[in-house]
Amino acid sequence: MHFYVHRRNKNLNVNLYAVPRRSISNIRVVRCFKTDGLAEFKRARGEDYASSTAMAPNHSQRSKTLLDRSSKPMDGMNDFERQLQEFFAEVKSMLKLGNKDDAITLLQANYEAVKEQIDAGVKDMEQAAILDIIALGYMGLGDFVLVESLLDMMNEIVCSVKNSEPLLDSLLMHMGSMYTALGKFDNAMLVYRRGLEILENLYGKDSPFLVIPLLGIGKVFGAIGRATKAVEIYKRALNILETSRGADSEDVVLPLFNLGNLLIKEGRASDAEIYFKRISSIYMKIYGEHDGRVGMAMCSLAHALCAKGNVDEAISSYRNGLKVIKDSKYMALDDDIMEKMRIDLAELLHVAGRENEGRELLEECLLVSEKYEGNEHPSTVTHLLNLATSYSRSKNFVEAERLLRTSLRIITKSMGPEDPSITIPMLHLAITLYHMKQFEEAEYLALEAVHIREEAFGKESLPVGEALDCLVSIQTRIGTDDSKILMLLKRVLSIQEKELGYESEDAMITLKKVVFYLDKLGRKDEKLPLQRRLSMYRTKHKQSVRW
């Protein structure tokens, strides 16, 4: 059972990290346009927005950890660094308040000013540092195409400067983080390693300042499937912090957390459980058992327990963790992380067969969204869909239909009748109506979804394939001509082979349907090669499972 979760763009936190650097001398005064006219260019020494997952206890914002302490402006910071810090803080504040237009105006004005300098042949660290803050701002806005272009400009500059340049290590950390977010792991590894080399030469191989590039490198290794190497890197970061800060220091939480998440992905849930229990123990010792950070650690522990198969124990840990977070007011009820944890627990309860309890949490999510955003706000659609999915699972299709029609009305009003986002509740409703034997309207909605997605994504796109698959199920039930069904199935198969792979599980399921209809229509010449392909896939799959 999958719950569709629409994530609002509030989860791109930009956190600061800095190391004590040599003072910067002979910096030119850089001026450019601000929103209210010509003024001193405001920038931030902005540091790496940490790549914590949604379940991370948001240490960088709420705990005085290594990242927080090192992010504070230092007494030795010069005017240029302070201007960077101020600019970064201003952009971050605008994004937090939802003033996207003002943020774009400010970022664009500064981009035009620094671009003018670069075109004039001035390509130094000052220009790279300005581009860095601008890129971080556009990351927060979700304009990844522009971020990639800015990274290319930054890379051209940093490749031509020596490792002794001030600000270079921090800038490399930001570039690594952005490259990782864009899925450009080779680029990320290069800049992280260069940053690590700089810091090792400055502070030695056991300095806490190495932790940030090490965590970045560990994340890249994890993303490219080199889990053993990632664990090795994370453990090095952990050992550095344990030696310099102490085994029970709050600073060790972030590498412990990264290790726990990675080990869950690698099927080593028991090992992950040890790390998450240690996080919980550290927070209890420092803050007491009723602190919100303890609650976050308990929710993380629940993931490991669930991965081990201890579902009831995982549910208990999740419930207790959410209660601690709520009672301590550690996090707002409408916080995205809080919302995700409620939905995760609701899904877990459904898996455990405790659907009524799961629905209570989903209803709570809907009530919170309506309270803070309004009854007809698009953010409520997520929760309406989740509730409808829950009711469909319990065969209460009447209530599911009501919720889905409400969600379709809200999203259509908000986004317009041709926006592809409306096809999500539209297809859900089509499936529900199919179960209610209202086939005519179900077919109409599925056809409409196909049309909208074709216009939005292209006729050979995976979203179109998903909608066609739904349409096939409906038309099969209403007795559509077999040859037309076969034609649609072949189209779905072609899309799946292109987008998911020639031997993907979805493609094989569709191939089986194609073979069935070819046999039904007596087209043996076409059937036999596809049947052999299906047989080869089954043999290969059995061998891989046995191995």
Grouped pLDDT means (10 residues each) for the chain, 547 residues: 28 26 25 25 29 32 30 53 88 89 91 92 91 93 93 94 89 95 96 96 94 96 94 96 94 95 93 96 95 95 93 95 95 91 93 93 94 91 94 95 96 94 95 95 96 95 95 93 94 93 90 92 90 84 44
Range of the structural domain that residue 510 is part of: 481-546
Listed residue (400, 19, 405, 72) closest to 196, CA to CA? 19
Strands 31-34, 37-40: parallel, antiparallel or unpaired by DSSP? antiparallel
In angstroms, the CA 165 to CA 223 distance is 30
pLDDT at 539: 78
Which tokens in the block code for residue 369?
A: 């969204």
Does residue 48 lie within any of the structural domains? no
pLDDT at 36: 29
Contacts of 522 (CB under 8 A, 6+ apart): none
Residue 481 DSSP class: -
pLDDT at 73: 39
pLDDT at 538: 80
pLDDT at 167: 86
For residue 209, CA distances in Å to 59, 240, 321, 424 come to 17, 9, 32, 46
In angstroms, the CA 3 to CA 350 distance is 11
Does residue 512 lie within any of the structural domains? yes
Centre a 10 Å sphere on the Cβ of residue 160 and count the other Cβ atoms it contains.
Answer: 10
In single-letter form, the type of residue at position 238 comes to: L
In angstroms, the CA 114 to CA 505 distance is 50
Residue 529 and residue 545 in contact, taking contact as beta carbons nearer than 8 Å: no
Does residue 55 lie within any of the structural domains? no
3-state secondary structure of 31: strand
Does residue 437 lie within any of the structural domains? no
Length of the chain equals 547
Q: pTM (2 decimals)?
A: 0.73
Listed residue (239, 274, 250, 246) closest to 260, CA to CA? 274
Does residue 436 lie within any of the structural domains? no
DSSP string, 284-348: HHHH-TTSHHHHHHHHHHHHHHHHHT-HHHHHHHHHHHHHHHHHHT-S-TT-HHHHHHHHHHHHH
pLDDT at 77: 52
Residue 55 and residue 299 in contact, taking contact as beta carbons nearer than 8 Å: yes
Does residue 332 lie within any of the structural domains? no
Please count the structural domains in the chain.
Answer: 1
CA dihedral defined by 180, 185, 189, 190, rounded to 10 degrees? -110
Does residue 113 lie within any of the structural domains? no
Listed residue (149, 5, 174) closest to 84, CA to CA? 174
Listed residue (133, 180, 130, 128) closest to 157, CA to CA? 128
* CA torsion through residues 401, 406, 410, 416, sign: positive
pLDDT at 146: 94
For residue 378, CA distances in Å to 222, 333, 547 come to 35, 18, 48
In single-letter form, the type of residue at position 5 comes to: V
In single-letter form, the type of residue at position 30 comes to: V
3-state secondary structure of 68: helix
Does residue 345 lie within any of the structural domains? no
